[in-house]
Amino acid sequence: MDQIVFLDRKTVNANFRAPNFLHKWIDFEITQKSEVVERLQNATIAVTNKVQIRKEEIDQLPNLRMIAVAATGTDCIDVQYCREKGIVVSNVRNYASFSVPEHVFSLILALRRKLIEYNNYTKSQKWQLSDIFCSLDFPIHNLHNSTLGIIGYGVLGKAVEKLALAFGMKVLIAEHKGITTARENRIAFEEVIQNSDIISLHCPLTDETRSLVGKPEFRQMKHNSLLINCGRGGLVDENALVEAIKNGEIAGAGVDVLSNEPPINGNPLLDANLPNLIVTPHIAWASLEAMQVLADQVIDNIEAFIKGIPQNSVN
């Protein structure tokens, strides 16, 4: 009988239906690195969202046959070593194609329309003291006719583009950084950085994309531009981002991801206390609807593996 162990069940607020084969399912709300081997000792299938399963753990888990990642990103798994050991690694795909783009535009609108500043203004009772019917203290901008640069043109990048076009925005799709000849319908990375009013990141975190946007990029951006990162925290040099906002190199940023999560040792973005910097706790993906799609797909992946026809395998 297969034993399925979910290492961090607390990370997904959804219902997981029982797989349609004989099994034993064990949930752990959270799991520390030191607990992984013990908890997976008899597991044939591991389910994890962010708990890392590396070579050192895999070598101690002779029964493990599959890792079902309850996320799209698989950087928490030693995928190459799993391939060598014959362990299937699957992920979930396209589950947040509404949730993430909507969060991107929540951040964009909050920054462009100065929602936080004006909310604080009314809470401070300054409106009651105004000598005109409204407040014009914080200039706001339309999205219509502004330019959105998208870096990372997968499912989420394309979904963000669709919303941008509905707002009447112009959209630039970036070519990979360092590529001199852009593909059809792509624009050189540097041109997107220089010409966008808003830049939205949707790349996976790899050795090539780590610190993709740093001091050189901020110096090239428009002074009235915004950076939105709902991809991975490591895509951005966080210290450089704080300095860029403080120095007026860019107008602000909306960030849903940090380089280390949770930020138990602090983070420069959390310490900055800037009104034009919005940080949310990695929730862009987490609408209730998206999480249920994710949960259903995790079970689909496990059932397909048991049938001998693995799906959404990354290795």
What is the pLDDT at residue 33? 96
Give start and end residues of each alpha helix (H) in 60-114. Answer: 79-85, 99-112
Q: Is 217 a catalytic residue?
A: no
SS3 47: strand
Tell me what percent of the residues of the chain surpass a pLDDT of 70. 100
How do 198-201 and 226-229 pair as beta strands? parallel
Contact between 170 and 147 (Cβ < 8 Å): yes
- What total of structural domains would you count in the chain? 2
SS3 72: coil
How much is the average pLDDT of 22-44? 98
Q: Is the pLDDT of residue 35 over 90?
A: yes
C-alpha–C-alpha distance, residues 46 and 236, integer Å? 31
What is the pLDDT at residue 285? 96
Instruction: Note whether 89 and 238 are same-domain residues.
Output: no
User: Which residue matches tokens 């990354």?
Assistant: 314
How much is the average pLDDT of 33-38? 98
How much is the average pLDDT of 179-204? 94
DSSP code, position 276: T
Q: Is the pLDDT of residue 52 over 90?
A: yes
How much is the average pLDDT of 255-261? 96
How much is the average pLDDT of 148-152? 98
Each residue of 286-295: pLDDT tens digit? 999 999 999 9
Identity of the amino acid at 130: S
Q: Is the pLDDT of residue 175 over 90?
A: yes
Residue 70 belongs to domain with CATH number = 3.40.50.720
Dihedral class, residue 165 (left if φ above 0, else alpha if ψ from -120 to 50, else beta): alpha
Contact between 169 and 200 (Cβ < 8 Å): no
Instruction: Note whether 201 and 114 are same-domain residues.
Output: yes
**Domain that includes residue 195, residue range:** 99-279
**Residue 182 banded pLDDT, cuts 50, 70, 90:** confident
What is the pLDDT at residue 308? 97
Q: Is 144 a catalytic residue?
A: no
Q: Which of 217, 232, 238, 249 is catalytic?
A: 232
Instruction: Note whether 206 and 224 are same-domain residues.
Output: yes
Instruction: Note whether 203 and 300 are same-domain residues.
Output: no
Q: Is 103 a catalytic residue?
A: no
Q: Which of 81-85, 128-132, 280-284 comes out lowest in average pLDDT?
A: 128-132
Instruction: Note whether 166 and 296 are same-domain residues.
Output: no
Instruction: Note whether 227 and 294 are same-domain residues.
Output: no
For 297, the token pair is 């797909």
Identity of the amino acid at 1: M
Q: How many CB atoms lie within 10 A of CB 246?
A: 11
Q: Is the pLDDT of residue 73 over 90?
A: no
Q: Is the pLDDT of residue 92 over 90?
A: yes
**Residue 18 banded pLDDT, cuts 50, 70, 90:** very high
Contact between 82 and 64 (Cβ < 8 Å): no
How much is the average pLDDT of 180-191? 92
C-alpha–C-alpha distance, residues 223 and 230, integer Å? 21
pLDDT averaged over every residue in the chain: 96
Beta bridge partners of 252: 226
Contact between 238 and 210 (Cβ < 8 Å): no
Instruction: Note whether 151 and 209 are same-domain residues.
Output: yes
Q: Is the pLDDT of residue 49 over 90?
A: yes
Q: Which of 35, 38, 261, 289 is catalytic?
A: 261
